[in-house]
């Protein structure tokens, strides 16, 4: 097989690997790079430790985890099939499309290159998942190899299906896909009915165990049991070697099938790659939810007043937020569905409350600011234009901040009021809602201030980009802790002096608002000093 692997493409892969190392080495060579690397490693290590600590409390036995791993793999495969529509194609990066497609390489050369880069990428990609999977494995290396073979299977299946689209044609593929999905879902439904009927009060693990032993479950999970048995193999021989060989054979068959399917995939691949590249860019910018729904021009808003130039800017961002809101709603709908299903199947619906108490601050501080980039962060490409507008820098900054603050406040108010109504504590809900506008104002001002100080554009990968993101997050937490800490401290102090919650909350609110007022001129200054020609993203 390596015989047909074009030497130039082999060289390209070698150079890419070398370039990646060089990038890391250069990054670590500067004092700033060393600092960022240290922060990155510390944060990564911390998050891994937290995850391991969390998972260790729910340690699974290899045998007990098998149904869960197999069902998870099946769901991921089902998702791949659902996502691969009639316009699917094999993904190549834009530079690969521009430089390799017109070059004198055969289609098989390009396919082999794609498979080789995929295999190389999985070496690192599987590492993170292997830590999670190791909780259900007797040895970490089993988990790593099992995860590697499993993800490879999913990616190979996607490529095979994309080629199938080219062979069958869009219309036939859609029909076949619909029938196949219908049959699979009917089999799953049969299995679910059987497993729920077996034990209505069972927890989530029991549910998956019952499902995997039901007739429907046995049929749909059959191919995935192999991979789950690699991860959960109790011993090297015969379990791991036996199941591992079988899993590798399954992947091998898919590789041969892909290489045998001699179909001209270049056109569909170029189009699909362009689409997917945009999606990946959005996902890397924390806007993956935008991929869930196309914006529609039907949603409109009236133009507000001029407000020294802030009005039209706020209108423009608000219209964008409104038109992208379907994606956000789908995203939250999905999250609520997943949490609800887990709580219901686990028989612990009431456990949702502490989960939500933990989730809401995370949502306010981390997730929503990442999702609602209807401000300077989403306008990096248009800062030139913003600077040409006949409005003062203060008005432009104010206009840019309105939409995300409003959108976040509305979304959070709905969630907080729903939870407080559910728990019959409307007063607490109302108090939280009063704080939401100032807290959001503070958070989005900090986000934009850091962004204007330290702009980051989505880059394909690389240490500088990750380092910048992590350092940005670190600075944000630092400013937030400082301003939030001062507000909280003054509120608590006021409570002890006046023995009144009302005074304490009012002072806390005022201090948070004052923090916004202090940070706003800094943001305006950062915008004025922002020189787009100096902005050098990775």
Residues engaged in binding other proteins (CB under 8 A): 295, 297, 303, 306, 309, 311-313, 315-316, 319-320, 323-324, 381-385, 387-392, 531-534
Minimum Å gap between C-beta 304 and other proteins is: 9
Token pair 């693990």: residue:
205
In 3D space, the residue among 164, 173, 159 whose CA is nearest the CA of residue 110 turns out to be 159
Minimum Å gap between C-beta 382 and other proteins is: 5
Minimum Å gap between C-beta 362 and other proteins is: 27
- Name the residue nearer to other proteins (CB basis): 391 or 479: 391
- Name the residue nearer to other proteins (CB basis): 267 or 535: 535
The size of the chain, in residues, is 538
Minimum Å gap between C-beta 294 and other proteins is: 9
Minimum Å gap between C-beta 379 and other proteins is: 9
How many other CB atoms sit within 10 Å of the CB of residue 243?
22
Token pair 């301003």: residue:
483
- Name the residue nearer to other proteins (CB basis): 142 or 315: 315
Minimum Å gap between C-beta 384 and other proteins is: 5
- Name the residue nearer to other proteins (CB basis): 213 or 281: 281
Minimum Å gap between C-beta 306 and other proteins is: 6
384, 390, 393, 396: CA torsion to nearest 10: -80
Tell me the CA distances in angstroms from 317 to 86, 123, 303, 439, one per residue in order. 33, 41, 11, 20
120, 12, 252, 97: CA torsion to nearest 10: 100
Gap between the Cα atoms of 154 and 223, Å rounded: 12
- Name the residue nearer to other proteins (CB basis): 212 or 464: 464
Q: Token digits for 96?
A: 């690969």
Minimum Å gap between C-beta 65 and other proteins is: 44
DSSP string covering 33-97, please? HHHHHHHHHHHHHHHHHHHHHHHHTT---HHHHHHHHHHHHHHHHHHHHHH--TT------HHHH
Characterise 386 by phi-psi region: left (phi > 0), alpha (psi -120 to 50), beta (else).
alpha
DSSP string covering 172-218, please? HHHHHHHHHHHHHHHHHHHHHHHHHHH-TT--HHHHHHHHHHSHHHH
- Name the residue nearer to other proteins (CB basis): 164 or 372: 372
- Name the residue nearer to other proteins (CB basis): 201 or 531: 531
- Name the residue nearer to other proteins (CB basis): 284 or 387: 387
């Amino acid at each position: 097989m390596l015989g047909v692997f074009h030497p130039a493409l082999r060289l390209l892969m070698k150079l890419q690997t070398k370039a990646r190392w060089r990038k890391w080495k250069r990054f670590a060579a500067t004092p700033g790079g060393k600092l960022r690397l240290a922060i990155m490693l510390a944060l990564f290590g911390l998050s891994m430790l937290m995850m391991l600590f969390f998972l260790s409390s729910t340690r699974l036995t290899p045998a007990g985890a098998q149904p869960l791993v197999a069902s998870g793999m099946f769901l991921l495969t089902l998702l791949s099939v659902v996502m691969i529509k009639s316009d699917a194609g094999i993904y190549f990066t834009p530079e690969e499309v521009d430089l390799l497609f017109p070059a004198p390489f055969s289609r098989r050369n390009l396919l082999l290159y794609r498979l080789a880069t995929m295999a190389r990428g999985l070496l690192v990609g599987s590492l993170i998942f292997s830590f999670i999977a190791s909780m259900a494995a007797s040895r970490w290396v089993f988990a790593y190899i099992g995860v590697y073979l499993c993800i490879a299977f999913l990616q190979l299946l996607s490529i095979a299906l994309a080629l199938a689209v080219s062979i069958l044609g869009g219309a036939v593929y859609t029909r076949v896909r619909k029938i196949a999905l219908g049959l699979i879902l009917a089999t799953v439904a049969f299995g679910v009915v059987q497993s729920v009927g077996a034990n209505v009060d069972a927890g989530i693990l029991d549910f998956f165990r019952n499902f995997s032993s039901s007739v429907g479950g046995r049929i749909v999970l059959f191919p995935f049991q192999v991979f789950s048995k690699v991860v959960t193999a109790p011993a090297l021989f015969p379990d791991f070697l036996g199941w591992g060989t079988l899993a590798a054979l399954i992947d091998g068959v898919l590789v041969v099938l892909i290489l045998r399917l001699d179909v001209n995939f270049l056109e569909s691949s170029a189009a699909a790659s362009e689409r997917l590249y945009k999606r990946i860019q959005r996902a890397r910018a924390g806007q993956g939810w935008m991929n869930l729904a196309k914006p529609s021009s039907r949603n409109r808003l009236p133009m507000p007043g001029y407000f020294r130039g802030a009005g039209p800017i706020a209108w423009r961002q608000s219209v964008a937020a409104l038109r992208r809101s379907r994606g956000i709603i789908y995203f939250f709908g999905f999250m609520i569905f997943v949490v609800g299903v887990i709580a219901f199947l686990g028989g612990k619906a009431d456990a949702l409350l502490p989960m939500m108490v933990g989730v809401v601050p995370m949502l306010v501080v981390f997730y929503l600011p990442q999702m609602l980039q209807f401000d300077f962060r989403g306008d990096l490409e248009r800062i030139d234009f913003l600077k040409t507008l006949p409005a003062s820098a203060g008005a432009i900054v104010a206009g840019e901040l309105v939409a995300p603050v409003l959108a976040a406040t509305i979304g959070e108010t709905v969630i907080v009021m729903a939870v407080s109504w559910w728990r019959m504590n409307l007063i607490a809900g109302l108090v939280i809602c009063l704080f939401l506008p100032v807290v959001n104002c503070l958070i989005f001002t900090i986000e934009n201030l850091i962004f204007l100080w330290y702009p980051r554009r989505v880059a394909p990968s690389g240490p500088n980009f990750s380092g910048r993101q992590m350092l940005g997050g670190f600075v944000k937490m630092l400013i937030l802790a400082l301003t939030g800490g001062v507000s909280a401290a003054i509120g608590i102090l006021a409570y002890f002096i006046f023995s009144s919650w009302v005074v304490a909350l009012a002072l806390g609110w005022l201090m948070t608002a004052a923090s916004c007022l202090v940070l706003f001129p800094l943001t305006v200054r950062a915008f004025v000093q922002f020189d787009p020609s100096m902005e050098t993203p990775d």
